[in-house]
Amino acid sequence: MAESFYVVPPARHQATVAAAYQKRGYTADEALAATRVAENASRHGIRTHNGIKALHLDDHFGSGAGGCVPGAKVEKKATKFAASEIWNANKKLGQAVAVDAIETCIALADKYGVGQVSVDNAFHYLWGGGYVMDAAKRGYIAYTNCTAALAEVVPFGGRRATLGTNPHSWGFPTTEALGFPIVVDWATSVVAMGRVQQLLREGKQLPPDAAVDKDGKVTTDPAKVAALLPFGQHKGYGLSLINEVVAAFIGGSLPTLRCRGAVEGEKQTPCFYFQVIHPDAMSAGAFAGGRTQAGNVKAVLKDILSGGNESCLVPGQLEAQAAAKCARFGGLLFSAAEIAAFDEIAKTCGQPSWKLEEFKEAQS
């Protein structure tokens, strides 16, 4: 059965989300950055990391809980490495920090071929895929990972949640070859906690073997989820572990203490890592058949998607299709449950109510 969505003008979405952030004390620039990141997620069909999720994070771990400081200033630490920057975010809103970090990496890559930014004392940046997608659309290879706000994932073979959902996000400039950038973006758990919250909101069940209840038993009921399981068993566990180890080298906190309440002498903030590579910095120049680098990328992808594989989905394809659908309907697409959630947000910050009947319906 086709699911109904409702078309919301981007300006309406921006007014509500930005007002909600400013009501919490964030600056106009921070609110705008957060709104644009949320809009980008919604436009590309990322319902687990939209404005609802962003404000939920702030409600539980952000400005009201001391985990994020509105108006905080980023401190750029001294480093001897020209292509690297190290930032102390001082608990500044994660989306505002991340937008600046990816731009800084791009500028470094233009000069040095590669650029990286490590961020300590951060707050959740929402959808990592959006940052690398934007860089890939501009012709760069980009990567980011972060540690999640909470330890919610049980290590493979374990019994207690000691890892975050810890996403990895890669973006590749393949618009010439495919019509859209490849974006490999995933939480290292079977599902993100945002998916659990979405399914609870929509009255739906989780897939099997994705989560456990308070007794450590596998559950598909989103209302009973106490912890998540890593995807691919030991493989997802290893990928999640990467984020924690990278963060440990940056200065990261103990994952079981993150956002759990003050502990003397311990930090409780996530870390970010960003890297951007200029494609020219990777080219060996010896492409077969006299192909250019771009032509070689296209040939490799064509070879992979041949011989009966022509209909295989490519990472980033669903996001591109979602963006095309939003463009076709002329706005952002939200479910009835999401409209109701935004209506509750609007009530908290003096914005007009979101009434279902005022938005045009669009069948998926």
pLDDT tens per residue across span 285-313 = 999 999 999 999 999 999 999 999 999 99
Is the pLDDT confidence value at 1 over 60? Answer: no
Mean pLDDT computed over every residue of the chain? 94
Q: What is the mean pLDDT of residues 15-35?
A: 98
Q: Look at residues 142, 127, 139 and name the one whose alpha carbon lies nearest to residue 276.
A: 142
Residue 198 burial (CB count, 10 A): 22
Q: Which helix (H) or strand (E) segment is 15 a member of? A: helix 10-23
pLDDT score of 242: 97
DSSP 52: H
Q: Which residues contact 200 (CB under 8 A, 6 or more apart)?
A: 222, 223
Is the pLDDT confidence value at 30 over 80? Answer: yes
Segment among 110-114, 139-143, 229-233, 339-343 with least mean pLDDT? 229-233
Q: Which residues contact 208 (CB under 8 A, 6 or more apart)?
A: 218, 220
Q: Look at residues 87, 160, 76 and name the one whose alpha carbon lies nearest to residue 123.
A: 87
pLDDT score of 364: 59
Is the pLDDT confidence value at 2 over 90? Answer: no
- Pairing outcome for strands 84-88 and 114-120: parallel
Phi-psi domain of 232 (left: phi exceeds 0; alpha: psi -120 through 50; beta: other): left
